[in-house]
Structure 1
């Protein structure tokens, strides 16, 4: 498959990531190297290389201090953010640090202390996502759509874009989770109503760390999100934490050990709790067993589902407030909802389903795949945006959760001028473009910021960007020029000032349209023109931007580091492959020398080769334990030069046997064919002299008694013989 046709949707989750692709007229979720349909969102740093995804998961227990999770939650955040200090630090095992003004992680990599920013951590993980997709599609991958939480701010969205670019991806769109799920729901429905009477659906998404509720109106060929309300810090990890605290207290009393004081013991308990929670979703009770949790003690316990529900009751109570707020913002009542669609892995918890169902007073719908709906929606969006795919027309109308205001300095000519304007209100559609008009004689500055700081996560600054509008001059009359500013919330939900230009009022001629009177034919008459005053663009203005983002120089440094680490990871992987190939050849060849290769070598040759294999094995586990790819390759080639002729003699013998067997089969088949041909050439009747080779006429039938079955059979046989003749 050519790279230009590869479109990929990435559901970038906090605990795992799902990858979907558009192919074969459908959307497929692809599997990773161990055939799992989701990949852990983890990055681990080791003494020789990085481990990403499944590799990082296998390293997590033994290398947890150098393993970083919750990657999405770190995007665009600073170390002093209270949500980072009070919430995220409890879920990230590696120590957090400040890197280039943003939060990152301090790890030991290549036997040295290193600190990587959140953008570098996410970029490292995206390289793994890209590799998984390319291995499945057998081609390069570039164009993608990546899902993000609806509550992400401008700076967080930019961090995801920058990380994707570092990984060699081209995000066509950053898509809100709820919008992606809505696209998966709506595009397959053939019975959607007309826009005048849309179908109202609630999509409730409860995942690993985030809870969101969207009220959406679906109609033929489109959907409009009317409201989205989020609880940024509610998900399955909070339920896990409640269980961890419960069992830690129980084990402290039962085994006299403080599990929470030991990071490794806490990690082991967390892994066991995650398995326990899944069992409780389908059973009324479950056992927990943690081997060697701490101080060489095997801990075990038992819990019932009603005990679990009591532990998470404070979390369940937080579910209803966003539900009501979403309805209020959308201006609809519960009774107007067509259905309530549930997505997200945590919606499998029975008490969660019961709480949401009781609030709406209706049965919940699970028509969407809870784990894969968002990834499928991202892949669909990518296919829609791609010029090489034909997809059913379906328009996505998403919204922004945060209102955006522009402010500026007044001018002496108009000291009473308003100095700020809310350009994009809350729940404003995205993408969306607004034109602002100013009257100025000189360059001026615009500040863009979020209108309500209290709505933002943590202590993310409300400032978005500062725009300096350059090259503004008085008009020809020396008066104020009319300056137009085109501001846009793009497909990613990011604010950009696309254009600034000067317009002047000018008289222009335009044709006067005079439709023919009823009953009259159109006449070929000269077109009448009239003069009208219109605003005409006369000059483009340059715009300088100051944003809360990393400088290009820093991003370039990150790019160079990422390429170096990718090359190092590849070299280490290939070195391990060569080492494994050498080890496999030693064991495989030695066993064959005593078995299938024995007839094709003499005792002296076999003995010397075994000695060489043994010496290579000893070298491999001593000084050859950690060496270079070239040395492993050379060692393997040296052995194959000696073992190759022996193996070839064996293969030649096998080929000779195969040819002999085939020749016997061919001879048998040929003899059988000739025998069959001879039988077909012999006529079925008896020949007599003088008949010219023709069968004589049959003798007259003997009279038979009525009802004699034997006579009937004889007549029937004669008819068949005549037909053959």
Structure 2
């Protein structure tokens, strides 16, 4: 059974597995440790991960990126309009959720963000399975800390569609903190002052800062703050804007008017940015960017820092917010751990270091820390592994309230209650009590919509409580509802039941030593009947059925999406298998053509050679003409056609090779037999010569180290 952690990033995804008494990062089919988070669509199949990256520029209208930033959003969300700047495929509405419109198998198709993420997770599952040589099922998946209930449900739906079981949806900085803390053996004890660490994670599109307190065997997140539009892609955009203006003036071309040209410049700027992180200056050269124009440019690091000045001015804002929420000062922080690719930008590092006034720490792998933390979490939750005890206490990022209709029987009843406050520990459970005579509904929503990312709906879910009725005396039924914010950060009303007030007898607690009143019996030998008292207690009497309406897909929609996904997997597999057989046919033609003039020449007469050459030429002409797009069965039949002509020649060659091999084998066996016979003869000769020698000499030869006994 596998234990896998997945860091689903905006740009790349990293897979880590728990094994060999530690955590390893899995490499993909081209031996990269990170897989591009891309899904592409073609005339015959889908392109996932590395395949999507190789055809991104030529097929940009059918390639979807920024998958994790589209989850659980609607097309009208302002954040989605921002994403359209980075996603080259057109974004559209798919049943109330944002999705992409692409051309797949020759026709227009619309896929929701949940389906697109499921497609990519299918690829990740296959990559992990290929590396581990085991089926992959249990995973822990990372998500940004600012994800809402709807976004988290979208990810869970996607994992289920992809045939995965998500044990925990984990906030990215929390996963990083777990990977940091579980390997530390010097954490303070329960009674000591905790070690406070600020985790600063700046990735391709997000900037998150979490303040975490560590003690032996546990971590507690004290606060989390974020900037959802601060990352590597914002630096890339500043560079693209700079070079677009430069090329317009210098070469009279507008790359922003050509989507393909803009994409190529963006990729070049991403490489330039990486070079500038380690060098003072870097060139930019792109051949035939558009209108057959080659472009050149050069940028110094100081110029880059000037271009991203508005970004740098925000570089410490999330840290300030996180410290304020945790009620701490920079000097209270023991270490500042930096992760994420964008933390390599020197100007950003300098700004954060100046803020804290202490050296920054880079002990974690910037690109793999989240995936490793997820793998540790998966190992803790999995029954297969024994892991050092380590508990994780995350926090609620948005306050959640319940609202309900006022009961006509309770005119002064409040109709809303904030049940989970910002900063509460998560997971957590709260019991809500209602006095009702009829079935009722309640709604969960975010109490402060202005805190949510973009313009997301604050609505979380609607829960209908059934089976409520007045008792025999026409009194209220006391209804108890168990509201739980679970490991994933998702809210559900998990259980409903009703109770009745009943009088029960319970023993009166004995007074402690020294508390006996005057007149108390001092005779310790007397045995008295224990005193009891009648108290009113609520006794559970039965369950109340609850039906829920949330942002999750219903089971029928999930099943339909899973079936569609399996159908597409089979289509992809058929295309891959067909391509493999086609390549096999092509290789077979070239191999036979060279061998018929070489190793096979002596085994075929001129007539057979001519016949085979003609067959090879005919099938090769067919392959590069009408056979370019044939089926797997047709390619297989063509291979068999060639074999029917070449078979006798190949057989004669193989027979001779086998005869030669047998001859060599026989010669080796005869040589070994002769060698053994000579060795036996030599041994016999030596034994015979020993018998002819005097006894004392023989004794000396056998026992050269023997010691004589002393004479009497």
**TM-score (structure 2 length as normaliser):** 0.93
How far has the Cα of 1:641 moved from its partner? 3.5
Q: 1:97 aligns with which of 86, 92, 97?
A: 92
Kindly indicate whether residue 101 of structure 2 is the aligned counterpart of residue 106 of structure 1. yes
User: Which deviates further from its counterpart, 91-100 or 309-318?
Assistant: 309-318
1:619 maps to which residue?
A: 622
Determine which of 179, 188, 195 is the counterpart of 2:190: 195
* Partner residue in 2 for 1:709: none
Match of 2:227 among 211, 215, 231: 231
Q: Which residue of 2 aligns with 1:714?
A: none
Q: Distance in 2 between matches of 1:180 and 1:435?
A: 29
Quote the residue 2:149 is aligned against: 154
Q: Which sits farther off after the overlay, 602-611 or 173-182?
A: 602-611
Is the CA contact 1:97–1:106 (under 8 Å) kept in the aligned structure 2?
yes
Q: CA deviation at 1:106?
A: 1.1
1:271 to 263, 267, 273: 267
* Residue 6 (str. 1) matches residue 9 (str. 2): no
The correspondence for 1:333, drawn from 329, 333, 352, is 329
Shift of 1:22: 1.5
Question: Which position in structure 2 is the counterpart of 1:472?
Answer: 468
Do 1:687 and 1:693's aligned partners in 2 also have CA atoms closer than 8 Å?
no
Structure-to-structure mapping, 1:85-484, within 5 angstroms: 85=81, 87-196=82-191, 197-484=193-480
CA distance in 2, matches of 1:655, 1:284: 65
Alpha-carbon deviation of 1:482? 1.3
Report the 3-state secondary structure (helix = DSSP H, G, I; strand = E; otherwise coil) of the residue aligned with 2:230: coil
Residues in 2 aligned to 1:523 and 1:308: alpha-carbon distance in whole angstroms: 91
Q: Does the aligned pair in 2 maintain the 1:686–1:695 contact within 8 Å?
A: no
* Cα distance between partner residues in 2 of 1:341 and 1:466: 41
- Partner of 1:282, secondary structure, is coil
Matched, 1:487 2:483: yes
Query: Deviation digits for residues 568-625 of structure 1, max 9, x if unmatched?
Result: 1111111111111111111112212211222333332222122111111111111111
Structure 1 length normalisation: TM-score? 0.91
| 1:573 and 2:576 aligned | yes
1:57 to partner: Cα distance: 0.6
Deviation at 1:528, TM superposition (A): 7.9
| Match runs of 1:598-677 below 5 Å | 598-676=601-679
Asked if 1:590 corresponds to 2:586, the answer is no
Inter-CA distance 687–71: structure 2 relative to 1 (3 Å threshold)? closer
Q: Secondary structure of 2:244's partner?
A: helix
Call closer, same or farther: CA 1:662–1:526 in 2, change over 3 Å.
farther
Q: 1:562 aligns with which of 562, 565, 573?
A: 565
**Residues 394, 427 of structure 2: 8 Å contact kept:** yes
Unpaired runs of at least 5, structure 1: 698-717
Work out the CA distance in 2 between the residues paired with 1:142 and 1:95. 32
Q: 1:65 aligns with which of 54, 61, 66?
A: 61
**Distance in 2 of aligned mates of 1:524 and 1:132:** 73
What is the match of residue 519 of structure 2?
none
Cα RMSD, aligned residues only: 2.8
- Which residue of the partner structure matches residue 715 of structure 1? none
2: distance between equivalents of 1:72 and 1:257? 34
Relative to structure 1, is the Cα distance of residues 599 and 456 closer, same or farther in structure 2, using a 3 angstrom cutoff?
Answer: same
Structure 2 residues without counterparts, runs of 5 or longer:
515-522, 708-712
Conserved 8 A contact 1:96-1:106: yes
Offset of 1:560 from its aligned partner? 3.1
Contact residue 8 and residue 144 of structure 1 kept, 8 A: yes
Counterparts in 2 of 1:722 and 1:500: CA distance versus 1, 3 Å: closer
Are the equivalent residues in 2 in contact too, given 1:406–1:446 (CA < 8 A)? yes
Instruction: Render the CA deviation track for 1:207-253: whole Å, top value 9, x for unaligned.
Output: 01000000000111110000000101111000000000111111111
Range with bigger deviation, 423-432 or 556-565: 556-565
CA distance in 2 between partners of 1:344 and 1:720 (Å): 76
Task: Sort the Cα spacing of 1:522 and 1:162 in 2 relative to 1 into closer, same or farther, 3 A.
Answer: farther
**Contact map agreement 1:223 1:397 (CA 8 A) in 2:** yes
Task: Write out per-residue CA displacement over residues 614-652 of structure 1, whole angstroms, 9 at most, x where no aligned residue.
Answer: 111111111111111111112112323333443343334
| Separation (CA, whole Å) in 2 of partners of 1:474 and 1:340 | 59
1:381 counterpart SS class: helix
Moved more, 200-209 or 630-639: 630-639
- Larger CA deviation: 676-685 vs 311-320: 676-685
- In the TM superposition, residue 510 of structure 1 has moved relative to its aligned partner by 5.0
Q: 1:239 to 1:621 in 2, by over 3 A?
A: same
Match of 1:23 among 14, 19, 25: 19
Distance 1:521 1:677 in 2: 101
Report whether the alignment pairs 1:32 with 2:1: no
**Within 2, Cα distance between the matches of 1:7 and 1:521?**
61
For these two proteins, the number of residue pairs brought into alignment is 698
CA displacement at 1:525 relative to structure 2: 11
